[in-house]
Structure 1
Amino acid sequence: MLAGTPDERTPMRTSQLEYFIAVADTLSFTKAAERCHVAQPAISQQIQALEKELGFALFSRSTKGVELTAAGRQYYRDVADVLDALRRADQHAAAIAHGQAGSISIGVASSGQLSTFRVIDRFRSAYPEISINLRRALSRIQEEQLRSGAYDVAPAPPCAFTDQEGLAFAHASREPLSIIMSEAHPLATKSDLTVSDLLPYPHIVADAPGDELARATYPHLADHPEVTLLRAEDQGIAWMMMTLGLGIEAVPASVIASLDREYIAREVRGYRASLEIGWAHLAHNENPALEKFLDFIDDQHL
């Protein structure tokens, strides 16, 4: 029995391989038909078609029953592996399609907020099959990073983006800001601080495009343009500058609990500022793992 040329062959179907495995397991066309829930003649026809396609016999048939040929035994081992791989591929693809597997890239500052890492850790525990990749988010080019696909999502204030078209900010909430400084800063021990006390000292802010973020962080800049602004590439550098006593910084109140001892928070009379922060992502990002991540945040009320 000779196989036809590639152009003459009938495409092999997965069902033929399933039927072959069933016959090989049971060594009976009748039992294989029962197992596959098809008529016995259909099994016989499909096995014959498969053997014709291959160009060699898979079974030796006699009045005593059915036996695998030497070629059939090897084919059985290989086909069983192939079918297992196909089933795993189906399951893996389905898991990714439903956000149960796959991967998600999250942008974080080099010295990210503790609350951000807590969210990531809880999500990792809930969905261990989803791979999480952390990428460094830089304030000045965060919009560019998102649009280029450097990461799927990152916590960020909308006002840090000059062009929000095509972007979405999930679960955005407004959080009050607090003034922090190093323990060695001249204002660290001064009682009853006011906004006027802050003016002589540099104000540290993330280096975002435009001035919206700086104005939202320090509202008094509108009346005091003479104040020196120190722009940091990201939050980690901003904290380092503040630790060295180079200036004061305003951070969300939720960050205060995670500060090192070198940082202290001060109440400042007349300072009233808040910042809206959400999970920034491309509105058309169709990564199922991202959708699962955002749903998780919503379900957990994080």
Structure 2
Amino acid sequence: MELRQLAYFVAVAEEGGFGRAAERLSIVQSAVSQQIRRLERELGVPLFDRSTRYVRLSGAGERLLPEARAVLAATDRTRQVAADIRAGTDGVLRLGIVQGPGDRIYRTLNELAAVAPRLQVRPRRLSLSARLSAIRSGELDAALVRALTDAPGLELLPIWTDPLYVALPVGHPLTRSADLRLEDLADLPLRLAPREDNPPFHDLVTDACRAAGIAPPPGPPFTTFQETLSDIGVAAPSWTVFYEVAGLPEIPRVAVRTLAEATLTTSLAVLPGPPAPAVRHLLATLARVT
């Protein structure tokens, strides 16, 4: 059974004759008749009662007509959905996400839904290595990544730049300044998580210190973010550097200051080449959300 046979069947039924159906379809009448006969043989039932004076639906034809129309309508719908997918306004976008800062991710998804309401975004929160592997394997279409400067086999498209912050004890002389430079912190022990915990961020901090010409002495071990900041407030003077995820922390006896010369870049990791239409919509939306 071919779609054109169903289209010819519907045309003959609606026009009430093979000649008028052929005119509507812009083909010769013999082609319409031939395809209807083939369809009847395949279905095993007559679709029309024919005489020299009229052509009208048979009982079987009357029953099958709505089914044929439904098939043709579904075909048209499938073509339209495919066209919308090509345009990026429909389909599924599998996106690796990061947390924060603030409600930026949620605002991005809400604005994308307003631009392309039929585009289904499936966010997934994975580790950095898992996000990158999922893009390479095709399990994700794109993923947000922080502080990453190189990803073999992938392209990194910068999206946002955010400030970095320093946490140090309240009352330390450096807290008199609203913004700190790395040179100011050269002699104060630095609490930095092991590189294996977050290689891109660890490299960002150490590279920035190297560029500033400083090598801060290592401070006590960095455990969790909350525990480390709490310990900074009560232990011997030390400092750590962090980026905002869910608002700036308020910890007793801990002061937070902006780090003047260092920033954190969030990028969208994708496969090389022209981005897919849905990814283009995502990029445009990300650029609008600050």
Q: What's the TM-score, normalizing by structure 2?
A: 0.75
Question: What secondary structure sits across from 2:113 in the alignment?
Answer: helix
Write out per-residue CA displacement over residues 217-275 of structure 1, whole angstroms, 9 at most, x where no aligned residue: 6557951242346376xxxxx4x556655674332xxx59x62573774246xx53123
Query: Mapping of 1:185-264 within 5 angstroms?
Result: 186-187=169-170, 191-192=175-176, 195-196=184-185, 199-200=188-189, 202-203=191-192, 207-209=197-199, 211-216=202-207, 223-228=215-220, 230=222, 238=225, 240-241=226-227, 244=230, 248-251=240-243, 255=244, 259=247, 262=250
Q: How many residues align?
A: 272
Determine the structure 2 residue equivalent to 1:115.
104
CA contact (8 A) 1:215 1:222 kept: no
CA contact (8 A) 1:28 1:65 kept: yes
Query: Mapping of 1:6-85 within 5 angstroms?
Result: 12-85=1-74
CA contact (8 A) 1:103 1:131 kept: yes
- Report deviation, 1:22: 0.9
- Say if 1:244 and 1:132 are closer, same or farther in 2 by CA, change over 3 A: farther
- Report deviation, 1:74: 2.2
CA contact (8 A) 2:113 2:119 kept: yes
RMSD of the alignment, in Å? 3.6
- Report deviation, 1:279: 1.3
Query: Mapping of 1:277-296 within 5 angstroms?
Result: 277-283=266-272, 287-296=276-285
Determine the structure 2 residue equivalent to 1:88.
77
Q: Which stretch has the larger CA shift, 147-156 or 212-221?
A: 212-221
Question: What secondary structure sits across from 1:230 in the alignment?
Answer: coil
- Say if 1:200 and 1:215 are closer, same or farther in 2 by CA, change over 3 A: closer
CA contact (8 A) 1:159 1:212 kept: no
CA contact (8 A) 1:135 1:150 kept: no
- Say if 1:241 and 1:81 are closer, same or farther in 2 by CA, change over 3 A: farther
Determine the structure 2 residue equivalent to 1:3.
none
Question: What secondary structure sits across from 1:272 in the alignment?
Answer: strand
Question: What secondary structure sits across from 1:109 in the alignment?
Answer: coil
Question: What secondary structure sits across from 1:91 in the alignment?
Answer: helix
Write out per-residue CA displacement over residues 146-194 of structure 1, whole angstroms, 9 at most, x where no aligned residue: 3344533233245365xx2211111456x3633254xxx7337864256
* Partner Cα distance (2:12, 2:214) in 1: 82
- Say if 1:119 and 1:290 are closer, same or farther in 2 by CA, change over 3 A: same
Determine the structure 2 residue equivalent to 1:179.
165
- Say if 1:260 and 1:157 are closer, same or farther in 2 by CA, change over 3 A: closer
* Partner Cα distance (1:16, 1:138) in 2: 53
CA contact (8 A) 1:156 1:279 kept: yes
Question: What secondary structure sits across from 1:273 in the alignment?
Answer: strand
Write out per-residue CA displacement over residues 262-294 of structure 1, whole angstroms, 9 at most, x where no aligned residue: 3774246xx531233321222269644223323
* Partner Cα distance (1:115, 1:199) in 2: 33
- Report deviation, 1:78: 1.8
* Correspondence for 2:118 among 129, 134, 140: 129
CA contact (8 A) 1:139 1:160 kept: no
- Say if 1:260 and 1:295 are closer, same or farther in 2 by CA, change over 3 A: closer
Determine the structure 2 residue equivalent to 1:7.
none
Question: What secondary structure sits across from 1:249 in the alignment?
Answer: strand
Determine the structure 2 residue equivalent to 1:5.
none
Counterpart residue identity of residue 154, structure 2: L
CA contact (8 A) 1:243 1:262 kept: no
